[in-house]
Amino acid sequence: MQLIIQIAISGLLMGGIYSMVSMGLSLIYGVTGIVNFAHGEFLMVAMFLTWGLNSLLGLDPYISVILVVPLMFLIGMLVEKTVIEPIIKAPHSMQIMATAGLSTVLANGALMLMSANYRSVITGYSSKTLNMAGIMFNVPKLVGFFAAVALTVLLALFLKRTYTGRAITATAQDMKAAQLMGINIKRIYLIAFGLGTACVGVAGVVLMPMYYVFPSLGTYFCTTAFVIVVLGGMGNIYGAFVGGLVIGMVEAFSGYLLAPVYKEVVYFVIFIIILIVKPSGILGRSGRAA
Amino acid sequence: MDGKKTKSPKFLIKYLVVAGAVCFAIAYGNTNAFFAHNLVLIFLYMGLSQAWNIIGGYAGQLSLGHVAFFGIGSYTSTLLYLNYGITPWIGALVGAALAAVVAYGLGWATLRLKGAYFTLATIAFAEVLRILATNFSGITKGAQGVGIPFRPELGNMIFRGKTGYVILALGFAVIVYLVCRYMDRTRLGYYLAAIREDETTSASMGINVANNKVLAMVLSAVFTAIGGTVYAQYILFIEPASEFSYSVSLNMALFAIFGGLGSLYGPIVGAAILIPIQEYLRVTFGGSLPGLHLAMFGLVLIITVLLMPKGVFPTIQGFVQGRIARSQKKKLRGEGSQ
Amino acid sequence: MILEAIGVSKSFLGLQALSNVDIQIAEGEIVGLIGPNGAGKTTLFNVISGYLKPTTGDVLFAGDKVTGTRPHRMAHMGMARTFQIVKPLANMTVLENVMVAQFMKGGRTKEVRELAEHVLQQVGLYEQRNQTAGTLTLAGRKRLEVARALAIKPRLILLDEVMAGLNATEVQQTIDLIHLVHKQGITIFIIEHIMHVIMSLSHRVIILNQGEKLCEGRPEEVINDQRVIDAYLGEGFSLA
């Protein structure tokens, strides 16, 4: 029993990290209708930024969040302006190819600049664990989980309480109506893309103390994030949060019951089944909404 | 979709020029191994990209998991050859048949998926196969891969020197081209294009949308699998990381999109232009700047989508036709004023 | 009877779009289907042509039960339809649009092309055959819908508002076109908002209101029916 709880807990904690990665993807899709195939590479970029700030300036990863997140926000807006905005009305196939191209550029650009080496940031708390009633809590994972909860709450508050947030929600629900209400759609797309990328920034920061960064890391997280977003319903950020936790658990249990290598097979199979049975997601509303 | 049959001598000359250029290239390749290597890859990818174009271009279902069929082809023929001594010529057909069955299942399963959902499902599917190929090491030898012993003989589909492979890959490209050309000009080509445009309208015209989409997937998979066998016989080594590599899927799509999505000449033009650039960059900078050639490719892909969404070939074609039309108009106006 | 609907009902998540609709159309008739917005006209067409399955009730085509038969099968059986919101294959040429439909009747590409060109001459789109369908005017696109429907050599054609948005000249041309189609022995079932069109074209008119058949009869009978006037006036329409 203790073992099962332990597995569930570590799955849940890892799920929190997945949630953060997926929320950005879901937000971007919900507002702009773009499925960003380069989303995983954004995570990789954020982790390299965190790593760079640590090795150059000696910044603790958790402190570097104040630099990494705004940087990622800017990077997201830059990408939106140069690559996404021109194709916002293009056919799906063109949008997919553009973001797939972007993912190739980022992953291989990183390979050119950083080489294929795995890099990590070792901190005092990297391998620290808390023991509560015999259940082990890995500290960085615990921080990640609470960061995920905090991010979800903050994002929800932002979308509900601020003018910009409500404009984003309105755009996601009905772009044309929002436009008629005088909302500057181009600006909303820009902000939403930046925001989605900034979410990945948070994920990158909290991942760095417990994980490696390497140029092809994006592919792994991107596919996981897609599974989660499809599970939670494309464009539904709360769905992404819950979906992340579910996939974290699925991964932990299938890793234990089968073998760790098959965990991907398990959730890809889940993924394909969901896509076939209910493409709008288990928790999802159909259509796009934030 | 230019079904007008012109049998003028001018048309014949075009064929002769192409045939002459290919013969010359093969002859030159005989003396220059790097050039020949490029030819093999160009022809192989012409065929692969053409095969991808059936589902990705004509039917408008953007697959980024076609490497799954490529891998099925290369693993099937290789394992049959090594374990049972079955010649890859037969192995290629068995691989194609297996890919057809898998594509049939995948086609039905993903029938209702549109846009990015379809793309995601195909990526996931290829990933599953890669993981399985890595972990069923009893059959596939896992991540360490399988080498094919070098026994050059036509019956083994193994050749001494590169010229044999150039001709093999050329043959593959020509077969896929001819099948696609036939498709382009007959009912299936028109039906797939109609389905890409609007499924509801297509159904109102008596088109069985589901069957035609699955058929496109199967056709596409069959030729992709044969391409996988050709590649395995050329490299003489297969491993999950390269046989199920995402970049193969991406390349197939890229060449077709760069050349012209859903156009018969698109994949040919795309592979002919981009493979040499890719190989040059890989060989020149592969050591010092790994990833440069792929990064360039991503860039080419983005730029193509942003600047010439119809691809190079239709863009140039449109430009030339525009010029011709304008000069003809001028002529007409000139005659009118006389 | 070429077409019969027997007690057809359709509900979407509790919303009753059609309730217990009975329809009979004889071979060679031109029957108009009118009714206020939201009356369920297009839903009825969708049920008849196989795009929607009725919740209850049956559809008979040429005496055979075809309830829930998929749209492409219906096309093969000889039922053609146009769409209220025109759906051209926008990136294909006008000729290719019609060729796609013409392929249903089999034949080699060359013959198919010739037959399609013939259809385009009939509907008056031959000159525009090499234009992409997306570049046609609205009137052109509506004609293209009719051309595609004709190409499958149907026995019955369902026309869904082929005149909405057209100017007076274009409307008259379309009326002529429908007469031409009818002369080929094709039965016509037409939804139309423009009342004088329905009056001049139809042998018989069926009125649908809130998913129910209100009444049916000869055009001049129907417009004087108090129930019809009420239904329309409720919607702010005036008749004739």
Q: What does the DSSP 8-state code read for residue C217? A: E
Amino acid at A114: M
How many CA atoms lie within 13 Å of A159's alpha carbon, on the beta-carbon side?
23
For residue A93, the chain B residues in CB contact (below 8 A) are 56, 60, 62, 115, 257, 261
Task: Give the whole-angstrom CA distance, residue B335 versus residue C19.
Answer: 67
Which chains reach chain C with 3 or more Cβ–Cβ distances below 8 angstroms? B
Task: State the ipTM, two decimals.
Answer: 0.88
How does pLDDT run across A132-171, given as a tens digit for each residue?
777 778 888 888 889 989 999 999 899 888 888 898 888 8
Mean pLDDT of the B210-215 span: 94
For residue B111, the chain C residues in CB contact (below 8 A) are none
The rounded radius of gyration (Å) of the Cα atoms in chain C is: 18
Task: Give the whole-angstrom CA distance, residue B110 versus residue B117.
Answer: 9
Considering chain C, what is the average pLDDT of its residues?
88
Confidence at residue B331, expressed as pLDDT on a 0 to 100 scale: 64
Q: Is A275 in contact with B60 (Cβ distance < 8 A)?
A: no
For residue C80, the chain B residues in CB contact (below 8 A) are 204
Q: Is B290 in contact with A115 (Cβ distance < 8 A)?
A: yes
Cβ-nearest to A98 among B250, B297, B305: B305
Confidence at residue A232, expressed as pLDDT on a 0 to 100 scale: 84
Confidence at residue A286, expressed as pLDDT on a 0 to 100 scale: 40
- Phi, psi (degrees; rounded to nearest 5) at B280: -60, -50
Q: Is B191 in contact with C100 (Cβ distance < 8 A)?
A: yes
The dihedral built from the CA positions of residue C188, C189, C193 and C199, taken in this order, carries a sign that is: positive
In the numeric block, which tokens belong to residue A10? 């570590």
Task: Give the whole-angstrom CA distance, residue A165 versus residue A182.
Answer: 15
Taking each helix axis as running N to C, give the angle between helix B9-29 and helix B163-185, from 0 to 180 degrees, rounded to the nearest 10. 150
3-class secondary structure for C66-124? CCCCCHHHHHHHCEEECCCCCCCCCCCEHHHHHHHHHHHHCCCHHHHHHHHHHHHHHHC
Q: Is A215's pLDDT higher than 80?
A: yes
Q: What confidence category does residue C56 fall into, taking pLDDT thresholds of 50, 70 and 90?
A: very high
Q: Is C240's pLDDT higher than 50?
A: no
Q: Is A32's pLDDT higher than 70?
A: yes
Task: Give the whole-angstrom CA distance, residue B275 versus residue C158.
Answer: 52
Q: What 3-state class would DSSP assign to B89?
A: helix
How many CA atoms lie within 13 Å of B325's alpha carbon, on the beta-carbon side?
6
Least confident range from A222-226, A256-260, B181-185, B281-285: namely A256-260
Confidence at residue B3, expressed as pLDDT on a 0 to 100 scale: 45
Cβ-nearest to B298 among A35, A108, A115: A108
How does pLDDT run across B35-47, given as a tens digit for each residue?
889 999 999 999 9
Most confident of A18-27, A119-128, A247-256, B9-18: A18-27
How does pLDDT run across C64-112, given as a tens digit for each residue?
999 988 999 999 999 999 998 888 888 899 999 999 999 998 888 899 9
Task: Give the whole-angstrom CA distance, residue C146 versus residue C181.
Answer: 9
Closest CA to A242 of A208, A197, A281: A281
- Phi, psi (degrees; rounded to nearest 5) at A73: -60, -45
Q: Which letter, b or e, does each residue of A168-194 get, where b requires 16 or more Cβ atoms within 10 Å of its Cβ? A: bbbbbbebeebeeeebebeebbbbbbb
Confidence at residue C235, expressed as pLDDT on a 0 to 100 scale: 53
Q: Is A176's pLDDT higher than 90?
A: no
A223 neighbors A266 (Cβ within 8 angstroms):
no
- Phi, psi (degrees; rounded to nearest 5) at C200: -80, -25
Which residues have C-beta within 8 Å of that of residue B296, sequence separation ≥ 6?
B277, B278, B281
B297 neighbors B278 (Cβ within 8 angstroms):
yes
Q: Is A39's pLDDT higher than 80?
A: yes
Q: What confidence category does residue B116 fall into, taking pLDDT thresholds of 50, 70 and 90?
A: confident
Q: What 3-state class would DSSP assign to A135?
A: strand
For residue B114, the chain A residues in CB contact (below 8 A) are 92
Cβ-nearest to C87 among B190, B198, B207: B198
In the numeric block, which tokens belong to residue B10? 């001018």
How many CA atoms lie within 13 Å of B29's alpha carbon, on the beta-carbon side?
22
Mean pLDDT of the C159-188 span: 90
Selected residue of B62, B127, B302 to mutate for chain A interface (largest A Cβ count, 10 A)? B302
Q: Is B2's pLDDT higher than 50?
A: no
Confidence at residue B202, expressed as pLDDT on a 0 to 100 scale: 93
How does pLDDT run across A86-120, given as a tens digit for each residue?
988 888 888 888 998 999 999 999 998 888 888 88
Which chains reach chain A with 3 or more Cβ–Cβ distances below 8 angstroms? B
Q: Which letter, b or e, does each residue of C193-205 get, where b requires 16 or more Cβ atoms within 10 Å of its Cβ? A: ebbebbbebbebb
Nearest 10 degrees: Cα torsion B63, B68, B71, B73: -80
CA angle B276-B278-B281, nearest 5°? 105
Q: Is B184's pLDDT higher than 70?
A: yes
The residue written with tokens 């971007």 in the block is A28
| Min Cα separation B93/chain C (Å) | 30
For residue B187, the chain C residues in CB contact (below 8 A) are 103, 109, 112
C103 neighbors B187 (Cβ within 8 angstroms):
yes
